Structure 1
Amino acid sequence: MTLATGSIDNLNWLQIFFFGVYPYIALAVAVIGTWARFDLSQYTWKTGSSQMLSDKGMRIASNMFHLGILGILGGHFVGMLTPHAVYEHFISAEHKQLLAMGAGGVMGVICWIGLAMLLWRRFTDPRVSHTSSFSDKLVLVLLFIQLNLGLSTIVASTHHLDGSVMVALSNWAQNITIFNPMGALPNMDGISLVYQLHIILGTTLILIFPFTRLIHIISAPIWYLGRNYQIVRQKTSQ
């Protein structure tokens, strides 16, 4: 495998902004917005679920969507943020890319089916549509576009099976994570448009995260672990 080498000089100002500045803007807005929403409007910290209006088929669709999206997010987290040096002694970049394409494809298709069904219900069921906010619908549309872009990257990956682009994208993500944009930007030189759009929309989803139902991703009933419970016994008739 030949590792991709690039130069920041070959990037235009839009690429420099979206891949060197925009991620930090999105992260700052997400962190501050999440804190502000939790502090000022805790009662909106929910999914706004419409499953009470669902039939069995839609509950299956919801399960498929959540299974798929969790698999995709887990794969992205491990695959993108694990340095090449950590796994190169166990699996080559070429085989790691094939594994990512296969697992990502399976999870992506599962998620696509579930999300398509949820989208159809959200926009065509009068009861569900009426109880849905504009942001609820927008998030589903953006997720569907992002999912299709992600599946398109699998097709694009078949044109470079040596794993070099995957390593370059991982290097970009890892450098962005450690706040090294100057080290991240050269990795975007020569990267196909579909990958760039996928990253930009993914960053945008992080940006709008605190202002939508996406915020329920980090919700967990951890406060109940320290809650004092009162045992109430049911009175039995004599």
Structure 2
Amino acid sequence: MNNFFFGIYPYIALSIMIVGSIARYDRDPFTWKSSSSQLLRRKQLMVGSILFHVGVLFIFFGHFFGLLVPHQVYEAIGIHAEAKQLLAAIAGGIAGIVAIIGALMLAHRRLTEPRIRDTSSFWDITILLMLVAQLALGLISVPYSIATAEHGSVINFMNWAQGVFTFQSGNAAHIADEPLIYKLHIVLGLTIFLVFPFTRLVHILSGFAAPVRYLLTRTGYQIVRSRRQAPRHPAE
């Protein structure tokens, strides 16, 4: 099971995320949106959305650079494994608290406002609850991560994450002996990647996909004429 979840499942999840997102953007571009409901409980939406997005963006880039930048780079600037794990746990914990407060506000709004709940799809509710659970798992792991910082477990997770993207065989062995709470956090995170193309999360990629499609396909272009150059109406 360890080999499946941490050696095979990452490739299943990432493949479905990439292929599924491309297919959805190509076949159903009009579903590529976040389906705003800002006219209802606007203040709760704005506060919750800001807290959630700020916290999640900090966590995402923290995970991205923390796991995928080689440890030698951190060593070269004087950040050793113990200090890096403490920094990740404390900074990530603060960002996690901000994000989960925002996520709970958004979940409360979506589940308790009848008009929003009735127009929410299965995935609208499911992905929001999955994100709340993922943030909760991350926060639960923070005290343990701080208490065991001297063991340098962060190195094992860095080796595992970098091994996934460099296609190393036997990569799952790096985290075979790590605590269950970390493993649950990873598996749920991979599952979020797996269901990504079927949810409103695809709008995250809009900032990247739209310019590419505009440059590579003719359908992205619009013909614009100045008022002076516009053709006259036959009646004129």
Q: Any stretches of 5+ residues in structure 1 without a counterpart?
A: 1-13, 234-238
SS of 2:177's partner is: coil
Aligned-residue RMSD, C-alpha: 1.7
Note if 1:131 corresponds to 2:98: no
Note if 1:94 corresponds to 2:82: yes
- TM-score, with length taken from structure 1: 0.87
**C-alpha distance 230-72 of structure 1, shift in aligned 2 (>3 A):** farther
Structure 2 distance, partners of 1:121, 1:156, is 32
Contact 1:50/1:128, CA 8 A, preserved across alignment: yes
Partner in structure 1 of residue 233 of structure 2: none
> Aligned ranges for residues 74-113 of structure 1 at < 5 Å?
74-90=61-77, 91-113=79-101
Note if 1:17 corresponds to 2:9: no
> What amino acid sits opposite 2:186 in the alignment?
I
Q: Which moved more, 1:199-208 or 1:152-161?
A: 152-161
Partner in structure 2 of residue 145 of structure 1: 133
Aligned-residue identity in percent: 45
Structure 2 distance, partners of 1:230, 1:69, is 42
**C-alpha distance 231-62 of structure 1, shift in aligned 2 (>3 A):** farther
Residue 191 of structure 1 and its aligned partner are, at CA, apart by 0.3
Partner in structure 1 of residue 33 of structure 2: 46
Contact 2:86/2:146, CA 8 A, preserved across alignment: no
Contact 1:66/1:111, CA 8 A, preserved across alignment: yes
Residue 58 of structure 1 and its aligned partner are, at CA, apart by 2.2
SS of 1:162's partner is: helix
Residue 84 of structure 1 and its aligned partner are, at CA, apart by 0.9
Structure 1 distance, partners of 2:163, 2:83, is 23
SS of 1:51's partner is: coil
Note if 1:198 corresponds to 2:185: yes
> What amino acid sits opposite 1:157 in the alignment?
S
**Deviations, residues 166-224 of structure 1 (Å, cap 9, x unaligned):** 11011100000111142x22211210000000000001011111111111111125367
SS of 2:147's partner is: coil
Structure 1 distance, partners of 2:226, 2:49, is 35
Residue 158 of structure 1 and its aligned partner are, at CA, apart by 2.4
- TM-score, with length taken from structure 2: 0.87
- Deviating 4+ runs (over 3 angstroms): 223-233
Structure 1 distance, partners of 2:120, 2:161, is 34
Higher relative contact order (CA 8 A, sep 6+): 1
Q: Any stretches of 5+ residues in structure 2 without a counterpart?
A: 229-236
Contact 2:44/2:106, CA 8 A, preserved across alignment: no
Residue 163 of structure 1 and its aligned partner are, at CA, apart by 5.1
